[in-house]
Structure 1
Amino acid sequence: MSQRKLSLLMVVCSLVGGVIGFFVGEVILERLAGEMAHWLLIGLYFGQYAFFVGLMCLLAEMISPRLNGLGWKQRYLGFSWKMLVPSTFVMVGVVAMLLQLLYGSSFQVSSGANNIVMLLDTSGSMQQSDPDNQLFKAAADMVQKMDSDMKIAVVTFNDQTQVLQPLVALSSQATKDDVVQKLLNFPRTDGGTSIDLALKAGLDQLLAAQQVENSTVVLMSDGYTSLDIPAALAPFKQHQVIVHTVGMSQMDADGTRLLEQIAAETGGRYFNVEHADEMTGIFGQIYDMSRQDRNLVLERTGATAQSTVYAILRVVSLLIIGGLLGLALGLIFDNRHLAKSFIIGGAVSGLLAGLVLEMGLSSIYLLDVVVRLIACAVLAVILTLFTLFIPAAASGGSSFQRRRMATQQSPRALGARGESKRFDL
């Protein structure tokens, strides 16, 4: 007989699984975002998340089989373990890959930035922040990655500015190699930090070449400059030039706030670097963002930042992922009543998680981390609450397992068993 049930243990365990999946996902984003295609990254992100939620829900039902019944635990627990990875990591991960491919597709004419200007801090403090000169190695790696239809300019700054590379088209490998050699052979310098001069010099490069439209500026510094922010950023806003900023974690709070504000005011993103060797991955992320490679769990920037189409796509994608997560739990327990409950609950939780991501993601790194944590928690918890609203019958055993047993027993014996009806998912 169907009845409404609620397993508080499963609610708690699902939340724990969601939090574990969140932390693993943050490591994936931090370490692999610049090295892996977005579709594969997102498939891995949601695949492992679904696995940990499914694992913890299975453990909860093992401890207290309130939803699926004691008969399931006694006879069919092994089958549930076999279904765990295919139903969660594989199924959800593969569908997440496909949804990311759709979300990353271009439905608008703009293809992102065509020009990138790099502003690199060479002040004396960088010798402590970046003793191995990882900044210029990361910049060189970014140049090598850039497409042949891109243009690049490099400006170094301390008390003064120096145009290391005027804006040039990377139409040939020889041009790329020339820019890379200039970066790798740049000598150490000293002095203070003049971010205001760097911003002006970077914009001058674009204005001189009449290439202001579809341009991105990347500013990396570990210092602070007293800056009239409205006046300094007015021309960037006027020409819709995005400024992404990168700062070292050991810099003072005033420097961090300045870089965060520059990024926020121009529609860019601030990146915090704890160790200098992280800059290669961060520069890779910035380049992907400049080409409008959208990611389901990161902020959308550029021409599609306010796009209603991509906002709907993100929310619908999370709704589908949530519904699939519910289906995965139904497959694990092989109970159609629970599957119905979990699918509906998963779709609702996915919808809410998608809205949290769409409305909460910003240019502030720590805030984005909190937003993803909330979305992961919402997806995990609400999913398991819907057994309270949709009646579910206790499991008498797996339909897949029962079929195998049916080949070994007579119809009369099967009738004597009086097993409850199940379903094939």
Structure 2
Amino acid sequence: MSQRKLSLLMIVCSLIGGAIGFVVGEVILSQLSAELPQWLLMGLYFGQYALFVGLMCLVAEMISPRLNGHGWKQRYVGASWRMLVPSTLVMVGVAAMLLQLLYGFSYQRSSSTDNIVMLLDTSDSMKQTDPNNQLFQAAADVVGKMDSDMQVGVITFNSRAEVLQPLVLLKDQAVKDTVIAKLKNYPGPSGGTQIDEALQAALDQLQSAGQLNPNSTVVLMSDGYSNVDLQKVMEPYKQAGMHIHTVGMSQVDADGTYLLKRISEETGGTYFNVDHAEELTGIFGQIYDMSRQDRNLVSERTGATADSTFFAIIRVIGMLIIGGLLGLSLGLIFDNRHLAKSFTIGGAVAGILAGLLLESGLTSAQWLDTTVRMLACALLAVVMTLFTAFIPASASGGQTSFKNRMDQGKRSSARLLESGNRTSKRFDL
């Protein structure tokens, strides 16, 4: 006989495991996103999430074996612990890596070239902030690492904006060397700070080149503040779907920090704070990597594929598979075919819901994206464990463990042997 079961303790523990996995996942995203390839990043993100959810579900069933039965607790808990890591961290993590490779793959070459326009502050205050001119060295270093299909432009600004390097395709090393020489030979800083003029100059460069589109990125570095009509200056960038990443030195005043953060937030970019000028090379490299890899399964999709229905479907299908495998992993941990069916179906449904939430809820606001990921993690954990109330399970627990099958086999062999002995005795008579 089959019956529907529901473990409130497992629901609560699964939610706790999901919360732990979410927090660890956010740390992974913030600390390793610029250092690891996206496929490995997503493998770690979902692998550790599955591990914590599986761990807490196992703890819940050990405390109160409502779903799997007391027979499992008495005989098979050790096997469940041995299955925990392989069926969660390994299985779900590897699946997430493969799904991220599928999601991040460029299925067709974009007709537009990727563009980066760097706006570099050369105001008088930079003499104290960057006495060794690390800013231009950092810009030169990142230009040297750029791919040959990139276009780069450089605009300097103090009391006025000046185009140091018009937008140019880095088609070979000779072009790169020309741009790098202009950066390294730039004279020292002087004058005030006019951020609005710099943003307008970048806009003019991109419009004249026909590159005012989501494939273009602006990097603004400043240590000062100026009055900027944000609504007027930002509107063309927002309409074009472009990101502006901003970099501020730690010495910048509060108004300057607030301005740079507003500029990045309103365009879906990222603000970076720099404590020492020597860090600029790493920051510029990180921004360049972000401009080249613009999508993973749990972050906002930007660039030319931002509104792509195709990639939206792939994300939702990917989350469906991850959710289903998360449920299957619990079935493997408990070694119960009925629970495996229930958790897998529940996990697949939870994955669809989480995928739709990620696809519709992710925006350019960092705090909102974090909230959306938190809700998606909660959905995966809770909805999956709720499905034991809808899909009947065997009243006897339904264990299908290898040991259990061996025990059944031994009993069958004993019965056959006993039957053979009785037959032999009849023949002897």
Into which bin does the TM-score normalised by the smaller protein fall?
Answer: 0.7 to 0.9
Aligned counterpart, 1:93: 93
Residue 6 to residue 200, structure 1, CA distance change in 2 (3 Å):
same
User: Equivalents in 1 of 2:7, 2:390: separation in Å?
Assistant: 12
Aligned counterpart, 1:345: 346
Residue 275 to residue 55, structure 1, CA distance change in 2 (3 Å):
farther
Aligned counterpart, 1:412: 414
User: Equivalents in 1 of 2:415, 2:281: separation in Å?
Assistant: 67
Post-superposition CA distance 1:279-323 (Å, at most 9, x none): 666645543443354211111112211111111111111111101
- Matched-pair contact (CA < 8 Å) for 1:112–1:292: no
> What root-mean-square deviation, in Å, do the aligned CA atoms of Structure 1 and Structure 2 show?
3.4
Deviation for aligned residue 1:413: 7.6
What is the percent sequence identity of the aligned residues? 65
User: Equivalents in 1 of 2:132, 2:82: separation in Å?
Assistant: 49
Aligned counterpart, 1:46: 46
Correspondence 1:356 to 2:357:
yes
User: Equivalents in 2 of 1:414, 1:151: separation in Å?
Assistant: 79
Deviation for aligned residue 1:116: 0.8
Aligned counterpart, 2:426: none
User: Equivalents in 1 of 2:281, 2:74: separation in Å?
Assistant: 52
Secondary structure, in 3 states, of the residue corresponding to 1:363?
coil
- Matched-pair contact (CA < 8 Å) for 2:294–2:303: no
**Aligned pairs (5 A) from 1:360-371:** 360-371=361-372
- Matched-pair contact (CA < 8 Å) for 1:122–1:156: yes
Post-superposition CA distance 1:42-64 (Å, at most 9, x none): 11211111111111111111222
- One-letter amino acid matched to 1:91: M
Aligned counterpart, 1:66: 66
User: Equivalents in 1 of 2:170, 2:198: separation in Å?
Assistant: 23
User: Equivalents in 2 of 1:405, 1:264: separation in Å?
Assistant: 63
User: Equivalents in 2 of 1:31, 1:202: separation in Å?
Assistant: 30
- One-letter amino acid matched to 2:77: L
Deviation for aligned residue 1:147: 1.1
User: Equivalents in 2 of 1:190, 1:355: separation in Å?
Assistant: 51
User: Equivalents in 1 of 2:47, 2:326: separation in Å?
Assistant: 10
- One-letter amino acid matched to 2:334: F
- One-letter amino acid matched to 1:194: Q
- One-letter amino acid matched to 1:339: A
**Aligned pairs (5 A) from 1:207-286:** 207=207, 212=212, 214-221=215-222, 223-236=224-237, 240=240, 242-248=242-248, 255=256, 258-259=259-260, 262-263=263-264, 266=267, 268-273=268-273, 283-284=284-285, 286=287
- Matched-pair contact (CA < 8 Å) for 1:247–1:256: no
Secondary structure, in 3 states, of the residue corresponding to 1:387?
helix
Post-superposition CA distance 1:138-192 (Å, at most 9, x none): 5455434421111212223343334444433323345445645765776774665
- Matched-pair contact (CA < 8 Å) for 2:6–2:388: yes
Residue 375 to residue 129, structure 1, CA distance change in 2 (3 Å):
farther
Aligned counterpart, 2:203: 203
Aligned counterpart, 1:399: 401
Aligned counterpart, 1:422: none
Residue 195 to residue 274, structure 1, CA distance change in 2 (3 Å):
same
Residue 94 to residue 115, structure 1, CA distance change in 2 (3 Å):
same
- Matched-pair contact (CA < 8 Å) for 2:113–2:149: no
User: Equivalents in 2 of 1:218, 1:154: separation in Å?
Assistant: 10
Secondary structure, in 3 states, of the residue corresponding to 1:51?
helix
- Matched-pair contact (CA < 8 Å) for 1:119–1:219: yes
- One-letter amino acid matched to 1:320: I
Aligned counterpart, 1:420: none
Secondary structure, in 3 states, of the residue corresponding to 2:393?
coil
Residue 191 to residue 32, structure 1, CA distance change in 2 (3 Å):
farther
The answer for unaligned runs of 5 or more in structure 2 is 419-429
Which range moved further: 88-97 or 388-397? Answer: 388-397
Residue 337 to residue 408, structure 1, CA distance change in 2 (3 Å):
closer
Secondary structure, in 3 states, of the residue corresponding to 2:2?
coil
Residue 342 to residue 406, structure 1, CA distance change in 2 (3 Å):
same
- Matched-pair contact (CA < 8 Å) for 1:7–1:66: yes
- Matched-pair contact (CA < 8 Å) for 2:222–2:249: no
Residue 357 to residue 415, structure 1, CA distance change in 2 (3 Å):
farther
The answer for unaligned runs of 5 or more in structure 1 is 417-425
Which range moved further: 240-249 or 50-59? Answer: 240-249
- One-letter amino acid matched to 2:391: I
- Matched-pair contact (CA < 8 Å) for 1:34–1:281: no
- One-letter amino acid matched to 2:4: R
- Matched-pair contact (CA < 8 Å) for 2:248–2:260: no
TM-score (norm 1): 0.84
Aligned counterpart, 1:118: 118
Secondary structure, in 3 states, of the residue corresponding to 1:117?
strand
Deviation for aligned residue 1:204: 3.6
- One-letter amino acid matched to 2:404: R
User: Equivalents in 2 of 1:57, 1:5: separation in Å?
Assistant: 15
Secondary structure, in 3 states, of the residue corresponding to 2:219?
strand
When the two structures are aligned, how many residues end up with a matched partner?
Answer: 414
- Matched-pair contact (CA < 8 Å) for 1:113–1:216: no
Aligned counterpart, 2:295: 294
Residue 161 to residue 42, structure 1, CA distance change in 2 (3 Å):
same
